[in-house]
Amino acid sequence: MSILDLRNIYKTYGKGDNEVIAVDGISIKVDKGDIIAIMGPSGCGKSTLLNILGCIDTPSQGEYYIDDFQVDFKKLNQLSKIRNEKISFIFQNFALIKDLSVLENVMLPLKFRGIARKERVNKAIKYLNELDIFNLKNKSIRQLSGGQQQRVAIARALTQESEIILADEPTGALDQENSIKIMKILQELNQKHNKTILVVTHDNLVARFCNKTLKMKDGKWDSIK
Task: Assign 135 to helix, strand or coil.
Answer: helix
Among 24, 25, 100, 218, the residue binding another protein under the rule CB under 8 A is: 100
Contacts of another protein in 147-176 (CB under 8 A):
160, 168
Scored b (16 or more CB within 10 A) or e, 144-176 reads bebbbbbbbbbbbbbbbebbbbbbbbbbbbbee
CB atoms within 10 A of CB 127: 21
CB of 104 to another protein, least distance (A): 5
Interface with another protein (CB under 8 A), residue total 40
Q: Degrees (nearest 5) of the Cα angle 167, 150, 28? A: 10
CB atoms within 10 A of CB 14: 9
Among 20, 95, 205, 224, the residue binding another protein under the rule CB under 8 A is: 95
93 forms part of the interface with another protein (CB under 8 A): yes
201 forms part of the interface with another protein (CB under 8 A): no
**Toward another protein, which CB reaches closer, 129 or 138?**
138
Strands 164-168, 20-31: parallel, antiparallel or unpaired by DSSP? Answer: unpaired
**Toward another protein, which CB reaches closer, 75 or 191?**
75
Among 28, 36, 38, 82, the residue binding another protein under the rule CB under 8 A is: 82
CB of 211 to another protein, least distance (A): 23
Among 35, 103, 131, 152, the residue binding another protein under the rule CB under 8 A is: 103
* Contact track, another protein, 3-42, x by CB under 8 A: ---------------------------------------x
CA distance 5 to 173: 30
85 forms part of the interface with another protein (CB under 8 A): yes
Size of the chain, expressed as the number of residues it contains = 225
CA distance 134 to 130: 8
CB of 119 to another protein, least distance (A): 15
Q: Output the CA–CA distances (angstroms, integers) from residue 139 to 82, 101, 148, in the order listed.
A: 31, 5, 11
CA distance 30 to 77: 24
Can you give the binding site for another protein, defined by CB under 8 A? 42-48, 50-51, 54, 56-57, 76-77, 80-85, 87, 89, 91-93, 95-97, 99-101, 103-104, 108-109, 112, 138, 160, 168, 200
